[in-house]
């Protein structure tokens, strides 16, 4: 089966510019997550969607970050305006809600460099 | 903040040796997962152990969980060069239908020397 797709793979922007990342989860996975991974650290959850509704966005810096999942499939994460500390890899993950503890499937990530 | 803390931060061993890495966490959990990350395959799930389990095996992997000590260990036996990667423990992942995002530690960077 096809994995989680993300684009672009790399992005370099200047501070105060805006940027958007796209994610297409595994077919049939209702739950989609965005994580931020800063160099040398583990991934940190930004937002979780269940179908097209937000389940958890408690760690999303809402003054500059936004995300949507129209039609409950693809998702877009946006940063506007970007700061130097936003340099990180942005990982998208999806999972099948089986009603029991389950694994998450991660995409290759988008490496963002803010200069 | 990060829930899990892996130990050691870095580990270098010879091919064929066993590698053990540990994870400690702070709050009660429903399950604990281990993931591997390398440049070739990204972040990949290895094994999930539930809070009512003490040990679980998958191929050359053995995971233990001690909920009384809030700790887990991952053992990789007969290591191979392809095992070179960062290993993360993650907690969360299921809360009965609600928020189930994972909380990761900083990871253990494992290097297998040929």
Q: What is the residue-level pLDDT of chain A in tens, covering all 115 positions? A: 689 999 999 999 999 999 999 999 999 999 999 999 999 999 999 999 998 899 999 999 999 999 999 888 999 999 999 999 999 999 999 998 766 778 999 999 999 999 9
* pLDDT classification of B17: cutoffs 50, 70, 90: very high
In a mutational test of the A interface, the residue from B43, B63, B86, B99 whose CB has the highest number of chain A CBs within 10 Å is B43
Contact A42 B105 (CB under 8 A): yes
pLDDT for A77: 98
> Can you read off the two tokens belonging to residue B15?
């091919």
- Residue A52, number of CB atoms within 10 A of its CB: 14
The answer to whether B30 faces chain A, any CB pair under 8 Å, is yes
Q: What is the per-residue pLDDT for A112?
A: 98
Judge whether B103 is closer than 8 Å to chain A, CB to CB. yes
Average pLDDT over residues B97-111: 88
> Can you give the pLDDT at residue A98?
67
Asked if B110 and B83 touch (Cβ cutoff 8 Å), the reply is yes
User: Nearest CA of chain A to the CA of B1: how many Å?
Assistant: 9
Parallel, antiparallel, or unpaired: how do β-strands A10-13 and A44-50 relate? unpaired
Give the per-residue pLDDT at B6. Answer: 86
Nearest-neighbour CA in chain A from B24: distance (Å): 14
Are B67 and B58 in contact, with CB atoms under 8 Å apart?
no
Q: What is the pLDDT of residue B92?
A: 83
For residue B6, the SS3 value is strand
Mean pLDDT value of segment B4-30? 93
State whether residue B80 is helix, strand or coil. coil
Closest approach of chain A CAs to the CA of B23, in angstroms?
13
| A103–B45 C-beta distance less than 8 A | yes
pLDDT tens column, B49-88: 999 999 999 999 999 999 999 999 999 999 999 999 999 9
Cβ–Cβ below 8 Å for B99 and A56: yes
What does the pLDDT read at residue B93?
64
Question: Is residue A23 within 8 Å of A74, Cβ to Cβ?
Answer: yes
Is the CB of B40 inside 8 Å of chain A's CB atoms? no
C-alpha closest to that of A32 among A107, A112, A108: A107
Q: What is the widest separation between alpha-carbon atoms in chain A? A: 43
Q: Which of A108, A89, A86 is nearest to A24 (CA)?
A: A108
Tell me the DSSP string of A33-96.
Answer: EEEEE-TTS--EEEEEEETTEEEE-TTS-TTTEEEE-GGGS-EEEEESS--GGG-EEEEEEEE-
* Spatial distance between the Cα atoms of A87 and A106, rounded to a whole number of angstroms: 19
How far, in Å, are A75, B20, B36, B102 from residue A79 at the CA level?
14, 39, 28, 22
Nearest beta carbon to residue B88 from set A31, A42, A105: A42
Confidence of residue B1 (pLDDT cuts 50, 70, 90): very low
């Amino acid at each position: 089966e096809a994995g989680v797709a993300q684009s672009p793979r790399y992005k370099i922007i200047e501070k105060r510019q805006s940027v958007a990342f796209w994610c297409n989860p595994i077919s049939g996975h209702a739950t989609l997550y965005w994580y931020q991974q800063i160099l040398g650290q583990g991934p940190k959850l930004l937002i979780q969607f269940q179908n097209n509704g937000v389940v958890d966005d408690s760690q999303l810096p809402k003054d500059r970050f936004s995300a949507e999942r129209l039609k409950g499939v693809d998702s877009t994460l946006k940063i506007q305006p970007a700061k130097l500390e936003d340099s990180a890899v942005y990982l998208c993950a999806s999972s099948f809600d089986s009603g029991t503890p389950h694994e998450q499937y991660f995409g290759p990530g988008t490496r963002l460099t803010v200069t | 903040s990060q829930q899990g803390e892996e130990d050691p931060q870095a580990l270098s061993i010879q091919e064929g040796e066993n590698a053990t890495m540990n994870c400690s966490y702070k709050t009660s959990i429903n399950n604990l997962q281990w993931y591997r990350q390398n440049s070739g395959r990204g972040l990949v799930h290895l094994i999930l152990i539930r809070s009512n389990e003490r040990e679980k095996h998958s191929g050359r992997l053995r995971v233990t969980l001690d909920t009384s000590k809030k700790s887990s260990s991952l053992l990789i036996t007969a290591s191979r060069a392809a095992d070179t990667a960062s290993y993360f423990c993650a907690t969360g992942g299921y809360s009965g239908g609600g928020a189930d995002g994972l909380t990761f530690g900083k990871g253990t960077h494992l290097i297998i020397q040929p």
